[in-house]
Amino acid sequence: MENVTFSLSTLHRHGSAFYDYLGLCKRFFVGQLGWNIPHDDDVEMDQYDNPRAHYSVVIRDGEVIGGARAMSTTATWGGHTYMLRDAVAGKLVDIPADIMAVEVASNAVWECTRLVISDNLRTHAERSTCLSLIVGGLIGVAAENGADRLMSLSPLALMRALRQLGYAADRVGEPYRNDDGRQYAVLSMPAARSQSHAPRATHLAQPMALHAPSVV
């Protein structure tokens, strides 16, 4: 497995990795979870896939097997900022407007969304390695741009998986249950491992979803 990171300005350096990542997202978020988000027969792509976004993607034998998206909490594009801030402003469906008690807008904090891991990874070790590479790429990109903390709206199970990998992830605020049947909450963690030799995650049963349906 190898990790690559890019933005829209540099995606051409990695062949079809960006398009393939959007396809993986479509199969999981639309095909499996049934989210009502913009998509066609092959890919999904929403308002946060814009020039402010950065991507961390994992490739194995030429196949995209995982990835995630990140952007600064100061990002704006048209009428949108970042996902959680738009939710607080009432612009998104199915994310409670009180999901965050305090609005965050800081160059030191980046939001991560659309985390997905392919079902083709069958073993715990494979999925753990893939998650570690994705998060490592996100941290690298965020740190290069001056950030020292990551946040996301994530399934609660992801907090345990991140801690098992050595990241000091904590829940911020109360969880809620989405229409896909999963409980989500805002997670926050430093953009660094909390220990030098992180234990391997013992179980990641399903791909991890970061995001919720938005207004089209």
Structural domains present in the chain? 2-190 (3.40.630.30)
Q: How would residue 207 be classed by pLDDT, with cut points 50, 70 and 90?
A: very low
Mean pLDDT of the chain, nearest integer: 90
pTM, two decimals, is 0.89
Judged against a pLDDT cut of 50, whether residue 21 lies above it is answered with yes
Q: Which whole number is the average pLDDT over 72-100?
A: 94
Closest CA to 56 of 108, 21, 12, 106: 21
Rounded to whole angstroms, what are the CA distances from 213 to 26, 47, 178, 200? 13, 12, 9, 31
Q: Which whole number is the average pLDDT over 176-198?
A: 83
Judged against a pLDDT cut of 50, whether residue 206 lies above it is answered with no
Q: How would residue 204 be classed by pLDDT, with cut points 50, 70 and 90?
A: very low
Give residue-wise pLDDT tens across range 103-161.
Answer: 899 999 999 999 999 999 999 999 999 999 999 999 999 999 999 999 999 999 999 99
- Helix runs in 107-210, H state only: 124-144, 156-164
8 A C-beta contact, residue 77 and residue 52 = yes
